[in-house]
Chains A and B, each alone.
Chain A
Amino acid sequence: MTLHLDDDELVSCVACGLCLPHCPTYRVTGEESASPRGRIAAMRAVQWSGAPLEGDFTRFMDLCVQCRACEAVCPSSVPFGHLMEGARETLASDTRYQPGWRRAGYRVLGRHRLLLTASTALAVGQRLRLVPRRFGLPRLALRRRPLVATGNDVWLFTGCVMDAWMRETHAAVMRVLAAAGAGVALPGPGAACCGALHEHAGLVEDAQRLARRVIGAFPGEAPVLVDSAGCGAALKGYGRLLGTPDAAEFSRRVMDVHEWLAARVDALPVPARRFPQLVAVQDPCHLRHVQKAHAHVRTVLGRYADLVELDDEGLCCGAGGAYAALHPDMAADIRARKVAAIARTGAVVVASANPGCAMHLAVAGLDVRHPLEIVDEVIRDGR
């Protein structure tokens, strides 16, 4: 039995344990099997000592949120995200790790028309009180106003769930970009889904297929801006996922929208008055640990609002793409720590640059907004 992982990557963990407190599942359980070090040891047991894939090993891998905090803090630079994706790829191909119903669920994300129709059905269901609150969905719109392109200085990646459920956020982001003087181009239907969830689930071929479609939807040289941290991290990883020069070139054009704005913050209007409430900044893992672009949120948002930092060193909130739906109990336990950290700041409004985190935290009753929604509100109030 092998996991088909790179031995040099697997051997690079020295078991120092410095990653332990940064791992959300270890924080909740205190157990090695739910820690980065333990997961690596389990991978070694399979790859080097023939431990079985099914059973405990699958369970340990599946409980990982893939937040990659461990990777950011590891002094040995163990490429944990890559190891975990590799392990899940083997699980998905060699075991029943991703049963048919889950695969079907992921595939809907790439079929945008179907997703929009399903989302409208869900919205109707919510009005009829047929959708339980614990599903953690935001209140979905019955009608989505279409977005209208304003130019071609930059592209805006629209994505799947984000576009279906939170199109108003895209609209706000476009208004802020316009205020900074940038005309925004919108992609065609090819940019329907970034494939991050597929990649995390080990469905690598699906992810690669989606990646090729996305790349095709953004011709030219203009920067590709992303307002969802998880999608942005995925797009920036296409070079590695596809391993082609074209993909690498595309990934170089990708920027988180705050990253792009931070370099042009002086072009943004000076606020007539600042946002009236203190804002706690929650860093999405894929912005902080993967893209390392979290400082830019502060540069942009700090121009319009008074910010307060959390004291949890960027510990994950438990949303993790599809994680909160697949592991609701663990996700809620992880979230409880985040909610406590937010409470310690005394702020009532929370800014999060990732829709998944925003939805997950909103279920706990918090007022969570995209940073650029706050910026947009201040700019519009000042007019």
Chain B
Amino acid sequence: MPDALVADLRAALAPERVLAEPLELTLYARDAGIIEGHAHVVCFPLTTGEVQACVRIARAHGRPFTPRGSGTGLAGGAVPVEDPVVIVTTKMDRILEVDEEDRVAWVEPGVLNLDLTHSVAHLGLHYAPDPSSQQSCTVGGNVATNSGGPHCLLYGVTSAHVLAIEVVLADGSVALLGGVDAEPAGYDLRGAFVGSEGTMGIATRIAVRLTPTPPAVRTLLLDFLSVEGAAATVTGIIAAGIVPAALEMMDAEITRAVEDFVHAGFPRDAAAVLLVEVDGLPAGVEAAAQVVADVGRVHGARSTRVAADEAERALLWKGRKSAFGAIARIAPNYYLHDAVVPRTRLVEVLSRVYEIAARHRLVMMNVFHAGDGNLHPLIVFDRRENGVMERVTAAGEEIITACVEAGGVLSGEHGIGLEKRDYMPLIFGEADLDAQARLRHAFDPDGVANPTKVLPAGSRCGDLQRVPEGAWI
């Protein structure tokens, strides 16, 4: 029997765009991470006005709200906590305007990242941030998590590509942050919003920068018999003065899992492989590819394969980008971290990470954006196994501590969400957390926008807790 909140939402949107049946709600309990919550109601607005209506009605009934795009987030950002109104943007999926000359596109938040790139490909342009989930995730979700991707090594992460954002704030009003002009006046609130994970409101229209597609590109696959050799090659390439467009590493286990899916000819017996891409003008690309191959050889690369054509290149990237999905071939659940460590300490951190997993009798794999030191240590497990969650949690905590001790940070790109929230005190002091809480408070004084995410409870009063409370619901 629908309650008053549901009835009001149905009247404001349309009955079929407001879901409240138990089974329907179950499907919105989680994102691509492992934490589950519970939604009170799920709605699908079509316009900024409808998003405003959702926010206002939620408030009128004393409910918080949680924005959601495609639900591919890995940190629990879109997991509904405190029985919120879940506001899904997937039906707001129009590309509103493409300005070829200024290379700017205005899009609705539910446009899929790869759809945007496909739709401007004929203009010789693309949208540069390319998270591995790019076929599925929304531009709104990318903005909210400040997504990175393999090619962000050269091109920069999402924040470098977002010019302006129309936002429905926590009180239901609309604000335009940033602007398409070079230097909009005032504080860069656009910068504050990017990466805010739904805690500062909902993006309803986004102006993104489009990037010219480079005329030439070379993709190389280097194959190593030791992780150390691969890691040394990563540092060596950068030290040689080359910034590849992408520089990705996969360890032995993940390489095998991926190969079993794509059949791209990844070496099943390698200890690690590097996927390196250089782009630019043809002559420069040739030279850079040569340097990459040489550095690899010096550090013991067994072979270097250069993708012969676009099809081979696409297949290699498909392998890399399916890595998280492909691990279910080994076990059905994964838990991953997203820490960034200084490139020079990669080898040392990696060996500690493997050691921690071994001690907890867990299977550990590594696939990551090596170029910027953004690790993705993945623990794979079967949740049905008795007592496994405790070991996963304990290992996770040790891993993140090891990364932070090596001078790293918590999240390179997936965001903090729910999952990494209680690790925040590992890298931020009380004063830092308090400052962040105040910024959030300025946007959302009543705490209704995606509550409990990002900042640990008590960030404003020094009452910090380390245990990921409720994190394994």
Contact = CB atoms under 8 A, between A and B. Distances in A.
B246 interface: no
A45 interface: yes
B91 A18 contact: no
Contact of A30 (B23, B24, B91): B91
Contacts of A55: 21, 23
B217 interface: no
Interface in B376-421: 382, 384
Given A42-B26, A42-B27, A77-B261, A14 B327 contact: yes
Nearest to A22: B135
Contacts of B329: 76-77
Nearest to A59: B23
A75 B328 CA distance: 8
B136 A14 contact: no
Interface in A45-78: 45, 51, 55-57, 60, 74-78
Given A21-B135, A31-B90, A77-B261, A14 B28 contact: no
A12 B328 contact: yes
B326 A42 contact: no
A216 interface: no
Interface residues of B, number: 43
- Identify whether the interface residues of A are mostly helix, strand, loop, or mixed: loop
B325 A14 contact: yes
A15 interface: yes
Interface of A: 11-21, 29-33, 38, 41-42, 45, 51, 55-57, 60, 74-78, 311
Contacts of A16: 32, 72, 133, 324-325
A33 B114 CA distance: 22
Contacts, number: 99
Contact of A20 (B44, B118, B136, B333): B136
A30 B26 contact: no
Interface of B: 19, 21-24, 26-28, 30-32, 44, 70-72, 88, 90-91, 93, 110, 112, 114-115, 118, 133, 135-137, 258, 261, 322-329, 332-334, 382, 384
Contacts of B325: 14, 16, 18, 74-76
A12 B332 CA distance: 5
A21 B133 contact: no
Given A17-B136, A30-B88, A42-B23, 10 more contacts: A11-B382, A14-B327, A15-B32, A20-B72, A33-B27, A51-B26, A75-B261, A75-B324, A77-B328, A77-B329
Contacts of A32: 27-28, 71
Given A57-B23, A77-B261, A14 B334 contact: yes
Nearest to A35: B27
Contacts of A19: 136
Nearest to A15: B32
B72 A56 contact: no
A216 B32 CA distance: 47
Identify the 8 closest CB pairs spanning chains A and B, nearest first. A75-B325, A30-B90, A76-B328, A75-B322, A32-B27, A75-B326, A17-B72, A16-B325
A11 B71 CA distance: 19
A131 B374 CA distance: 63
Contact of B70 (A17, A56, A78): A17
